[in-house]
Amino acid sequence: MTGGYLILERPNAGIVLSTNARFYAIVKPLYEEIKPESWAWAWTDVKLTSPQMSRETIYKLSLKHLTLQPVSSSASRNPFVEHAVQYAVAAAHAKLGKDKTDALQKILLQGLDITILGCNEFYSYRNQIELQGLPLTPESLALLPPFSSITFNAEESSGQKPEVAKTGLGSSAAMTTAVVASLLHYLGVVDLSSGKKVDADLDIVHMIAQTAHCIAQGKVGSGFDVSSAVYGSQRYVRFSPEVLSSAQGAVKGIPLEEVISDVLQAKWDHERKKFSLPPSMTLLLGEPGTGGSSTPSMVGAVKKWQKSDPQNSLETWRKLSEANSALELHLNALSGLAEKHSDAYKNVINRCSVLTSEKWVGGEDESSQAVIEALLGARNSMLGIRNHMRKMGEAAGIPIEPESQSELLDATMNMEGVLLAGVPGAGGFDAVFAVTLGASSDNVIRAWSSRNVLALLVREDPNGVSIENNDPRAKEITTAVSSIRIE
């Protein structure tokens, strides 16, 4: 929600909201029994299935080098999942010790059967809805079966492999985290059962998932997406990239178990503090349908601008950082007021939810006035953030908040009961978000639909990674589509 671009550099912070869109990794033995002669084998089998993409890939996992090789040369490859599997198995070897090596080998020799499922909210089904002549509303999205088949973008004229049409919710980070967490739990390295989760176990999941994700994408990003997948909504300050220097050197022939052992013992200096929206506020995400944006190329353009104009870029970043901090301060103040003066808070929120912001006046008492001032302070901070992000985009020659998005966001912030509206992350054309008060979200959804913006079936869920005992495909459709919570 805040921290776009700044979050790439310490000690800048960003506010990250996790949602109820979930990735699932289901892990079970591939074979019921271990054949007696299999103890002499140097390899075991791994089957990776993605029902939504109609893909199944069989790998051989080296029990000595912990590397994965697809059985077929034409097999579909997923570097995020491959690194997640290799690094999770290496972490099991590093953490469980010599006395548990035989037990670990027994589990691995039964093979690994991994199924990956992503909630519909990660993918764009806009085209299917329009082709069926349905309105661009969450109700139309709710008609889709859970874990629907994934649509690919049309192949580019340049001959590039077509990409999956996504909504920009950090699917690769969520998928990587789900695979790492499920394998570490399955192999006995951590216990993520409800009521038993401890920070030390989550920290192991975080370190391995962060490493797998960075190496798979070929660069060390800020890591906010993996951190939110593991821990949930938070205020985040990135880790120093140097903590992954040993993992980046793994290509030089260092044994993977040794590399992962170094990663687990490294000084991870990221900072996180629990954060969630104040009560009676709703997060909305909208898909404008104006095409996507390439975050890496936009980040590259901003870095180029920083080098070419260090004085002005530093000043813009300072102002943006101050606006980010101010928004965080006002939201935290609102959470505090909701706790200390709940009746006054509820009354103000309910009243403001049916009014435009210029009518948010006249607190009956001191606590009510404090709520109104914090609401207006949060709005003004968001307007400041948007202004500085636009200026940065103009200076760098990239559309961080394109004109079409600005018009939509201005119209949204002028609606009754809307506290905030903006472009998340690096900005561009991918998505818009709004934070609404009380029951005003339905009006925003209808207004977005009239502007050809599809409101997604996504709400804030401050919880991070969790274990579920049942196959999510067994859920009733209404539960799976509208309100998946994994606790």
Beta bridge partners of 45: 60
Instruction: Give the tokens for residue 165.
Output: 């049409």
- Does a structural domain hold residue 465? no
Which candidate, 423, 405, 482, 412, places its Cα nearest to that of 446?
A: 412
Q: Which residue, of 217, 246, 274, is where some domain finishes?
A: 274
Whether residue 136 contacts residue 449, with contact meaning beta carbons closer than 8 Å, is answered with yes
Same domain for 195 and 260? Answer: yes
- Does a structural domain hold residue 240? yes
Same domain for 262 and 304? Answer: no
Instruction: Give the tokens for residue 424.
Output: 């998340």
- Domains held by the chain: number: 2
Give the span between the Cα atoms of 210 and 67, in whole angstroms: 18
- Does a structural domain hold residue 477? no
Same domain for 169 and 307? Answer: no
Which run of H or E residues covers position 287?
A: strand 281-287
Give the span between the Cα atoms of 190 and 92, in whole angstroms: 9
pLDDT score recorded for residue 479 = 33
CA angle centred on 170, ends 402 and 379, rounded to 5° = 50
CA distances from 58 to 6, 44, 220, 340 (A): 41, 11, 29, 56
Same domain for 184 and 259? Answer: yes
Give the span between the Cα atoms of 130 and 113, in whole angstroms: 37
Q: Which residue, of 274, 298, 333, is where some domain finishes?
A: 274
Read off the CATH number of the domain in which 243 is found: 3.30.230.10
**268-319 residue pLDDT tens:** 999 999 999 999 999 999 998 766 666 778 889 999 999 999 999 999 999 9
Same domain for 195 and 321? Answer: no
pLDDT score recorded for residue 478 = 32
pLDDT score recorded for residue 153 = 64
Give the span between the Cα atoms of 449 and 465, in whole angstroms: 32
Read off the CATH number of the domain in which 320 is found: 3.30.70.890
Give the span between the Cα atoms of 487 and 477, in whole angstroms: 19
CA angle centred on 36, ends 31 and 40, rounded to 5° = 100
The helix/strand/coil state of 486 is coil
Give the span between the Cα atoms of 87 and 460, in whole angstroms: 30
Same domain for 387 and 257? Answer: no
Beta bridge partners of 69: 60
Up-side HSE of residue 4: CA atoms within 13 Å toward CB?
A: 24
- Does a structural domain hold residue 291? yes
- Does a structural domain hold residue 210? yes
Same domain for 285 and 260? Answer: no
The helix/strand/coil state of 418 is strand
* Amino acid (one-letter) located at 293: S
pLDDT score recorded for residue 251 = 56
Residue with tokens 């009354």: 347
- Kindly give, in sequence order, each residue whose CB lies less than 8 Å from that of residue 147, ignoring residues fewer than 6 positions away: 51, 52, 117, 118, 119, 120, 472, 473, 480
Give the span between the Cα atoms of 173 and 185, in whole angstroms: 18
Same domain for 245 and 291? Answer: no
Whether residue 133 contacts residue 191, with contact meaning beta carbons closer than 8 Å, is answered with no
Whether residue 178 contacts residue 230, with contact meaning beta carbons closer than 8 Å, is answered with no
The alpha-carbon radius of gyration of the chain (Å, integer) is: 24
Same domain for 126 and 236? Answer: yes
pLDDT score recorded for residue 42 = 86
Backbone torsion region of residue 218, taken as left when φ is above 0, otherwise alpha when ψ lies between -120 and 50, otherwise beta: left
Its domain, for residue 77, covers 6-152+164-274
List, for the chain, all residue ranges whose pLDDT scores fall below the cut of 50: 156-162, 476-487
- Does a structural domain hold residue 482? no
Give the span between the Cα atoms of 120 and 354, in whole angstroms: 31
- Does a structural domain hold residue 84? yes
Q: How far apart are the first and last CA of the chain?
A: 24
Beta bridge partners of 274: 234
Beta bridge partners of 273: 235
Whether residue 437 contacts residue 280, with contact meaning beta carbons closer than 8 Å, is answered with yes
pLDDT score recorded for residue 364 = 82
Same domain for 377 and 452? Answer: yes
Centre a 10 Å sphere on the Cβ of residue 219 and count the other Cβ atoms it contains: 11
Same domain for 372 and 269? Answer: no
Whether residue 107 contacts residue 187, with contact meaning beta carbons closer than 8 Å, is answered with yes
Same domain for 305 and 216? Answer: no
Q: Please give the torsion angle defined by the CA atoms of residues 326, 327, 330 and 333, in that order, rounded to the nearest 10 degrees.
A: -100
pLDDT score recorded for residue 313 = 93
pTM: 0.92
- Does a structural domain hold residue 342? yes
Q: Is the dihedral of CA 154, 120, 5, 290 positive or negative?
A: positive
Peptide bond between residue 399 and the one before it cis (omega within 30 degrees of 0): no
* Amino acid (one-letter) located at 131: L
Give the span between the Cα atoms of 147 and 149, in whole angstroms: 7
* E-only strand ranges, 74-218: 112-118
pLDDT score recorded for residue 98 = 77
The helix/strand/coil state of 368 is helix
Up-side HSE of residue 367: CA atoms within 13 Å toward CB?
A: 14
In degrees rounded to 5, what are phi and psi of residue 6? -60, -35
Q: Which residue, of 248, 274, 300, is where some domain finishes?
A: 274
